[in-house]
Amino acid sequence: MSVGADAFHPIDACWVCGGRALTPYHTLRFELETYRNDDQDHELAAYSGATLRLVRCRQCGFGQPEALPALTRYFDRLYDQRHDEHWIDTEFHASYKDLIFSSILSELGRRVLNANGRRRLLDVGTHAGRFLTFATRAGWDAEGIELNPRTAAYAARHAGVPVHQMNAVALAAEGRRYSAIVLTDVLEHIPSPLELVSSLASMLEPAGVLAIKVPCGSAQAMKEATLARLTSHRATLADNLVHVNHFSPHSLALALDRAGLDATVVTAAPELMPLQPFSMRAALSNTLRLGLYGVARAPGGVRTPLALHLQAYGVRKRS
Ligand SMILES: [Zn+2]
């Protein structure tokens, strides 16, 4: 059994600039059969076999799906992973994002002035809380926000700081203010991304900074297409709509601008594989990644296909 045409709500304008000239460039698949196991979610599993196109906005270069599933709470249901404590613990101790975390903290340390002595940081989608422990160590008064109750509780316990279990729009409504807000590997998963970016921007103190890391949609599409030509690899990045937003450097800067922020977009640091226990494959892969990063962070490098991930810093405009 599969879904019919009414299973999707079409999207007729670009989520970033509102442009209506949208050109298809990739077809993604739904493969959700595993949700049939243990009677987990038959309505979700029914989307298996369906396809959907990604379209690129001719005006700003942003990529997004041509439609979204009509199924209520599709994304909540997709991410309803029953994380056990052992898995969360492994994530907390995993070092693969440490270079990303330390480069964000060093950049924020430079950009956020310590005017009143207190620097408050919010980590959005805080996961197991590893970044929160780094931020606290770097002298930030840090807090997290995380929807998953298990990871939220784990992060609060292990980082020893408050972790709000709610969405960012609800937190913004409480009137909280931060000197820095960090969103790492989260925004690519959220439909209509401008709403979240605007909510976060509203929580910044004057001259506060929003740091956003996302994959570069245009560079990733080129990488996947090249791999597909050379091997039997099929581009899977957008399958099941795991990634809904496919930013280019320009459309990311534009999204921040629309939320009232002055943006700088640079090449983001790469994830690195653990070297303990030592593995030659990991060592070679890390050398390659660091080499590409070195080239892609040179002036102009962010606009080349070598910039596989983007890091934006947005400062609240003076009104
Ligand atoms: Zn656009």
pLDDT tens string 109-130:
999 976 567 899 999 999 999 9
Q: Centre a 10 Å sphere on the Cβ of residue 19 and count the other Cβ atoms it contains.
A: 15
Instruction: Give me 157's structure tokens.
Output: 């316990």
Residue 277, preceding bond cis, omega within 30 degrees? yes
Quickly state the pLDDT bin for 319 (edges 50, 70, 90). low
> Residues 64, 244: contact at Cβ < 8 Å?
yes
Orientation of helix 85-93 relative to helix 130-137, angle to 10°:
40
Give the residue from 178, 92, 188 showing the smallest Cα distance to 134. Answer: 92
Question: How many angstroms is it from 248 CA to the middle of ligand 1?
Answer: 10
Which residues sit with Cβ closer than 5 angstroms to ligand 1, an ion? 14, 16-17, 19, 57, 59-60, 62
Going from the Cα of 208 to the center of ligand 1, the distance in angstroms, rounded, reads: 26
Return the biggest CA–CA distance within the chain: 61
Share of the chain above pLDDT 70, in %: 98
pLDDT at residue number 263: 96
Summarised one tens digit per residue, pLDDT across range 215-227 is 999 888 888 888 8
For position 18, what pLDDT does the model report? 98
- Average pLDDT of span 142-158: 95
d(CA 25, ligand 1 centre) in Å = 15
Give the separation between CA 251 and CA 60, rounded to whole angstroms: 5
Average pLDDT score over residue span 125-140: 96
Ligand 1 centroid distance, CA of 26 (Å): 17
Look at strands 120-124 and 63-65 and give their pairing. Answer: unpaired
How remote is the CA of residue 22 from the centroid of ligand 1, in Å? 8
How many angstroms does the Cα of residue 173 sit away from the middle of ligand 1? 28
Q: What is the mean pLDDT of residues 67-85?
A: 89
Task: State what percent of residues in the chain have pLDDT above 90.
Answer: 81
Rounded distance from Cα 47 to ligand 1 centre (Å) = 28
Note the pLDDT tens digit of each residue in 183-242: 999 999 999 999 999 999 999 999 899 999 999 998 888 888 888 888 877 777 789 999
Chain-centre distance for alpha carbon 6: 29
With 60 as the cut, is the pLDDT of residue 260 above it? Answer: yes
Q: What average pLDDT does the chain have?
A: 93
